[in-house]
Amino acid sequence: MTMLNEDNLKRNVKDKDTWLRFVYLVVFGIAFYLSILLTFATSVFQFLAKLFGGSSFDGLASFGNNLAAYQSQVTRFLTFASDEKPFPFAPFPEHGATPPANVS
C-alpha cells in the first residue's frame, strides 16, 4: 500500500470506478441480505418437509447448494477478493445436476 498524500487522495475520490464499485456494493449488499432470508425460508421449508413427509426435497437441497455458491461469490466481490460481479451480471451458479446427499 502506498503512502496517501493529498494528490493521491484527490485522485482516488474523483475516480468514477471507485464510486461505481460503491453502488455495486450497496446493491449486492441488499441482494446478500435477501439471499440470507431466502436461505432461512428454504431451510424452514426443508425442515417441515422432513418433519411431516419423512424426507427433504432434493431440488431444494440443490437450490440451497447453488444459493450458497452465490453467497460466496457475493462475499468475494463485496470484500474485494474478486472483481467478477455475481448474478445478474454472470450466470447463477450451478454445482452439477446431482443434488447433495440427502440427510436422513
Residue 36 has what pLDDT?
A: 97
DSSP 50: H
C-alpha cell at 44: 424452514
Task: Report pLDDT digits (tens) over 19-78.
Answer: 999 999 999 999 999 999 999 999 999 999 999 998 999 999 999 999 999 999 999 999
Residue 2 has what pLDDT?
A: 57
Residue 99 has pLDDT above 60, yes or no: no
Torsion angle in degrees (nearest 10) through CA of 9, 13, 81, 41: 140
Residue 89 has what pLDDT?
A: 84
Residue 103 has what pLDDT?
A: 47
- Residue 14's pLDDT band (cuts 50, 70, 90): confident
74 exposure class (CB count in 10 Å sphere: 0-12, 13-18, 19+): buried
28 exposure class (CB count in 10 Å sphere: 0-12, 13-18, 19+): buried
Residue 4 has pLDDT above 70, yes or no: no
Residue 96 has what pLDDT?
A: 53
Q: Give the domain ranges of the chain.
A: 30-104
C-alpha cell at 96: 452439477
